[in-house]
Amino acid sequence: MKKHHRLNDISKNATNQLDEINLDELIPLPPPYDKTDELPAVKTLTDEQKQRLVDNLDGFSALALPQPKDKEEEKKYIKQFISGLNKLLSKQNNWTFLQPLLLSLEYCAHCQTCSDACPVYIASGKNDIYRPTYRSEIFRRLIDKYTKRGGKIMTKLKGTDIDLNWATLSRLYELAYRCNLCRRCAQTCPLALDNALIIRELRKLFSQELGWAPHELHEKGTVLQLEVGSPTGMKPAVAIDNLKFLDEDFSESLGFKIETPWDKEGADILLLHSAGDILSFPESVMAFTILCNAAGINWTLSSDGPGYDGVNYGLFYDDVQLAKIAVRHAQIAKKLKVKKIVIGECGHEHKALITVADRLLTGDLNIPRQDVMTFLEGIVFGGKIKFDLSKNNFPVTLHDPCNIVRNLGIVEPQRRILRYLCPQFREMTPHGVDNYCCGGGGGLSVISGVNFTDWKVNVSGRMKLKQILEAFADEPGPGAKKYVAAPCLNCKLQLRDIFKYYRAWEKSGIMCGGIAELIVNAMVDIKKPYINWNDV
């Protein structure tokens, strides 16, 4: 059911919710998830939280924004926002993305071609507040009004006047975190404009000027990573200890010695995992160890923080942290004298390190960086490991992480692997560069404050769940165990949240994991099954 909102509504009634989510208004899911009364109730803010936090958008809070104390505080933030707008549009403070931003702001034809491409907008049943252009157009009009000469008069004359008050500001802030930065909108825009970029810049304004950013991305994200080595809080010694434990544990259960190398100077490859995998999906990390060793690759991990954690949340919300972390990663690789950095199964790490930060790594920091898909492809088809193709004889489908596939155009290598090693591999629809985001993109995967997870599993992840169920429609029940290959930790976390919420393992026998585990599962030398269906 379509819901229309006038752009001006954002500035009205600061204490009322702009809209609310009703499960019946979202697009329907295939059975057995089609009966909304059989699904868990959506978590809402408690009365105590509603007193303390701002709740004026859609009934969800990603950011736990505290209510302002008084009108003075509101005015202060509004003033800061305007000063931030000016900095965002200046060469001095935003040379990093000035040209793309200005072009996207100036040339929108308001044709709405991008809206139907947005998974969040479609999943919500076409609710205007989730339209890519809703946020961008409001932002655009604020820029026109508050930064251009004569803006206040011109926008009144043009009928594009939006008041920048607390309602607008607080709602825009939350809205900025209802976008996955998946860039499907950018892909479809006939003028090559990019709404995801506009939203990223909006987030940057909030962070770099007002100091507003989700603490999961900032204080407990990039700041923690720069301080101790990883947003997980894992210090180098703990990382080494954890890997040692895993080496021993897996060696014991698989029956041969598995050892992960650390700090090997002059190695060919520095492998840059997302360290969260060590804690949440250790079989993925160990799979890489097993494969690299079996293929005779001269590789290493680095214990020099953040050299063992390749994530770079700065990509999602600012330039300062993005630059600091990318430079640190390159410096560590340089110090270790490795020939190349290979990025692990982490989507945004690919975009951050291979393309976006490319122009930040000048001089001798410009170390070659390689993606995980071609790396694994080289291992699988390199001839050094023997595979038994019957070991992966269960339905497998492939989720395409936005940052690797849509952004970098790396589409075929992972498919060649899966077609070779998984006799029941099938594509979901759409797939490749047209695939949908898992719903956890843009950093949303690690943001779970208040009741945001419920929004992610119901709204932003809805298209993905639908795709997965449709891909497995030939064997829907729990009796057939089915694997969603998702070569990105943030995607796996989002899928894990979705599957847990809908009890997808119990009802449909679906679990997710990376590609490395599938490869190891097919190795002739691994006598026991590597993929543990009971560990769900």
Partner 1 sequence: MSGYFWHVFIISIFFVFLAVMVYRIVAILRMPVHLRWELAPLPHKKEKKKDGGSHFEQYTYSEKTHPKSLVAIIVFMAEEILLFKGVWKNNRTLWPFSLAMHYGIYLVVLSLVFHFVNAMLLISGESASALDSLQAVAAVIALAGYILGTAGGVGLILKRMLDADLRNFGSFPVYFRLVFLAAIFISGIIAWFYTGNFALTMSVFTHDLFTLNTAITTNMPLTVHLIILLLFVLYLPFTDMTHFITKYFTYHAVRWNDEPMNQKMAAGLDRLKSQTSTWSAAYTNPGKTWSQIATEKHKDEKTS
Partner 2 sequence: MAKIELAGLMLEVDEHGYMQEPDKWTEDIARAYGLKEGVTELTPDHWKALNYLRSYYLANGICPMIRRLIKETGFTLKQLYDLFPEGPANSACKWAGVPKATGCV
Which residues of this protein are in contact with partner 2, per CB under 8 A?
48-49, 52, 64, 216, 220-221, 224-225, 228, 230-235, 238, 241-242, 245-246, 249, 274-280, 282, 309, 311, 346, 445-446, 448-450, 489-490, 493, 535
User: Binding to partner 1 by residue 110, rule CB under 8 A?
Assistant: yes
From its phi and psi, is residue 341 left (phi > 0), alpha (psi between -120 and 50) or beta?
beta
Cβ proximity to partner 2, 169 vs 246, nearer residue: 246
Cβ proximity to partner 2, 3 vs 215, nearer residue: 215
> Which entry of partner 1, partner 2, none binds 246, CB below 5 to 8 A by partner kind?
partner 2
Cβ proximity to partner 2, 10 vs 224, nearer residue: 224
Kindly write down the DSSP assignment for every residue of 198-229, as one continuous string: HHHHHHHHIIIII----TTTIIIIIIHHHHHS
Q: Min. distance of Cβ 522 from partner 1 in angstroms?
A: 21
User: Binding to partner 1 by residue 312, rule CB under 8 A?
Assistant: no
Q: Enumerate the H helices of 27-150 as residue ranges.
A: 47-52, 71-88, 91-94, 98-106, 119-123, 132-147
Return the bridge partners of 484, or none.
397, 512
Stretch that binds partner 1, among 31-39, 245-253, 300-308, 497-505 (CB under 8 A): 300-308
Q: Min. distance of Cβ 88 from partner 1 in angstroms?
A: 9
Q: Min. distance of Cβ 85 from partner 1 in angstroms?
A: 12
CA distance 513 to 532: 10
Cβ proximity to partner 1, 410 vs 457, nearer residue: 410
CA distance 441 to 443: 5
Cβ proximity to partner 1, 88 vs 311, nearer residue: 88
Cβ proximity to partner 1, 92 vs 390, nearer residue: 92
CA distance 309 to 353: 12
User: Where in 333-362 is the site for partner 1 (CB under 8 A)?
Assistant: 340, 354-362
User: Where in 214-253 is the site for partner 1 (CB under 8 A)?
Assistant: 218, 223, 226-229, 235-238
CA nearest to 403, candidates 452, 454, 361, 445: 445
Q: State which of residues 27, 39, 323, 536 lies at the interface with partner 1 (CB under 8 A).
A: 323
User: Binding to partner 1 by residue 87, rule CB under 8 A?
Assistant: yes
Q: State which of residues 17, 44, 49, 113 lies at the interface with partner 1 (CB under 8 A).
A: 113
Cβ proximity to partner 2, 175 vs 493, nearer residue: 493
Size of the site for partner 1 (CB under 8 A): 110
Cβ proximity to partner 1, 192 vs 473, nearer residue: 192
Q: Min. distance of Cβ 441 from partner 2 in angstroms?
A: 13
User: Binding to partner 1 by residue 327, rule CB under 8 A?
Assistant: yes
Query: How crowded is residue 111: how many other Cβ atoms within 10 Å of its Cβ?
Result: 11
CA distance 515 to 428: 16
**Distance (Å) of CA 283 to CA 159, 279, 345, 458, 530:** 57, 10, 12, 28, 8
Residue 262 token pair: 């650390």
User: Binding to partner 1 by residue 102, rule CB under 8 A?
Assistant: yes
CA nearest to 494, candidates 182, 136, 169: 182
C-alpha 81 chain-centroid distance: 26
SS3 483: strand
> Which entry of partner 1, partner 2, none binds 532, CB below 5 to 8 A by partner kind?
none
CA distance 268 to 183: 34
Q: Min. distance of Cβ 141 from partner 1 in angstroms?
A: 9
Q: Min. distance of Cβ 226 from partner 2 in angstroms?
A: 13
User: Binding to partner 1 by residue 133, rule CB under 8 A?
Assistant: yes
CA distance 253 to 24: 47
| Antiparallel, parallel or unpaired: β 369-370 and 340-343 | parallel
Return the bridge partners of 370, or none.
342
CB 397 within 8 A of CB 428: yes
Cβ proximity to partner 2, 252 vs 474, nearer residue: 252
Q: Min. distance of Cβ 317 from partner 1 in angstroms?
A: 11
For the CA atoms of 136, 138, 139, 144, the dihedral, rounded to the nearest 10 degrees, stands at: 120
Cβ proximity to partner 1, 301 vs 510, nearer residue: 301
> Which entry of partner 1, partner 2, none binds 16, CB below 5 to 8 A by partner kind?
none
Encoded one letter per residue, x for contact with partner 1 by CB under 8 A and - for no contact, window 378-417 reads x--------------------------xxxxxxxxx----
Cβ proximity to partner 2, 195 vs 274, nearer residue: 274
CA distance 355 to 378: 22
CB 22 within 8 A of CB 41: no
SS3 272: strand
Stretch that binds partner 1, among 76-84, 244-252, 273-281, 417-425 (CB under 8 A): 76-84
Residue 391 token pair: 């070991």
